[in-house]
Amino acid sequence: MATIQSIANENEPHPDVALVERVKNGDISAYDELVRKYDRQIFRIAQHITQNREDAEDVMQDAFLKAYEKLDQFQGNSKFYTWLVRIAVNESLMRLRKRRTGKMVSIDEDIETDEGSVPRDLADWAPDPEQNYTQAELADILRKTIQGLPPGFRVVFVLRDVDGLSTEETAESLGLSVPAVKSRLLRARLQLRERLARYFKRKKVPREKGVKSDVH
């Protein structure tokens, strides 16, 4: 899976800077490269927020078209990808609002929940627990589990832990403060862990089979 690597040498310009410059000078093939580079990530983010395949397809198209239209406004103070994600997040929220007319949809409201703040399920997991499931079963478990999280937690987890953005870049993409991103990330990680434990925890071996269980 592609992740966004941070640049080791900060003095070296990010490769996207040259691509963006080429697009600004009329070289459309450079935009083609940028779309191919980031389309999977943008589609994934849109799916996580909208939880709807059609909406995610529309968001992906609209986000890349809007970024192209607005490219002159991109100053290069942030990475192109961070800027693109911000557009995609806004487009995704707009789609959600359309579907849930009358209901406010926002990722910047602080979600008050104690769930996951104190781990309850403390049973250890089986070694390589994902191997107990087929790829399709596992994908289903992972989808269902993350869908149960509030949208504001989901998107922070996906940007930070799946996409590999830094805390600062995640905050910038979502228009959140750094402490808000940190707080959501911790709660998202703990809630996911707690929910996945239902599937992954070490199963107790029945004593009558004569095998000693190592579960405490």
Partner 1 sequence: MTCTEFLAMLDDMIDNTVTREMRADLQEHLRGCEHCEVTLNTTRKTIEIYRSHEIYEMPPTLRDRLHKAIMERCKKGC
Residues within the interface to partner 1 (CB under 8 A): 1, 3, 28, 31-32, 35-36, 39-40, 43-44, 47-48, 56-57, 60-61, 64-65, 68-69, 118-119, 122-125, 129-130, 135, 138-139, 142-143, 146, 157, 161-162, 182, 185-186, 189-190, 192-193, 196-197, 200, 216
- For residues 101 and 135, which CB has a smaller minimum distance to partner 1 in the complex? 135
The token pair at 115 is 């769930």
Q: For residues 146 and 180, which CB has a smaller minimum distance to partner 1 in the complex? A: 146
Angle separating helix axes 28-50 and 53-69, nearest 10 degrees: 140
The letter for the amino acid at 84 is L
Residue 90 near residue 106, CB atoms below 8 Å: no
Q: What is the closest distance, in whole angstroms, from the C-beta atom of residue 118 to partner 1 in the complex?
A: 8
Q: At its nearest, how many Å lie between partner 1 and the CB of residue 104? A: 25
The pair of structure tokens assigned to 32 is 């083609």
CB nearer to partner 1: pick between 111 and 162: 162
Closer to partner 1 by CB, 13 or 147: give it: 147
Our CB check for partner 1 shows the closer of 105 and 142 to be 142
For residues 61 and 81, give the distance between their C-alpha atoms in angstroms, rounded to a whole number: 15
CA distance 140 to 138: 5
**How far apart are CB 117 and partner 1 at their closest, in Å?**
8
Smallest distance from partner 1 to CB 174, Å:
17
Max intra-chain CA distance, the chain: 75
Of 175, 141, 170, which Cα lies nearest the Cα of 157?
Answer: 170
- Give the pair of three-digit tokens for residue 159: 């940007």
**Contact of 180 with 188, CB cutoff 8 Å:** no
The CB-of-109 to partner 1 minimum distance in angstroms stands at 21
Token pair of 52 as six digits: 């709807």
Shortest gap between Cβ of 14 and partner 1 (angstroms)? 22
- Neighbouring C-beta atoms of residue 198, cutoff 10 Å: 10
Measured from the CB atom, is 25 or 135 closer to partner 1?
135
